[in-house]
Amino acid sequence: QDKQLSMLMDILQCAKSQEVLSIIKGLTSSHHDTLMKFIYNGMARPEIYQPPLLLLWHEKIVEHTGLGTIIRVLTDKHSV
């Protein structure tokens, strides 16, 4: 899990802030939920991962999908 999270954070850092929304629009609903799970995992470790970067991605996911993704992630018993 830590290795996957670390790799995903590296990928998120490579995207320019102007590209984030278009990247998110290219994902499926399932991908949005999985990405949000990783974002929450990263937010739980602010000393390792960059909270401003995670908040940007979180904001853009919610902007595109609405609050449904947050609700599904928080109620899902499966973690990443």
Three-state SS at 24: helix
pLDDT at 25 over 90: yes
Continuous H helices in the chain: 2-14, 20-25, 29-43, 51-65, 68-75
Global confidence as pTM: 0.93
Q: Where are the domains of the chain?
A: 2-75
* Percentage with pLDDT > 90 across the chain: 92
**CA contacts within 13 A on the Cβ side of 79:** 7
Q: Is the pLDDT of residue 74 over 90?
A: yes
Res. 40: pLDDT tops 90: yes
Looking at the domain that runs over 2-75, which CATH code has it been given?
A: 1.25.40.190
Is the pLDDT at 1 greater than 90, yes or no? Answer: no
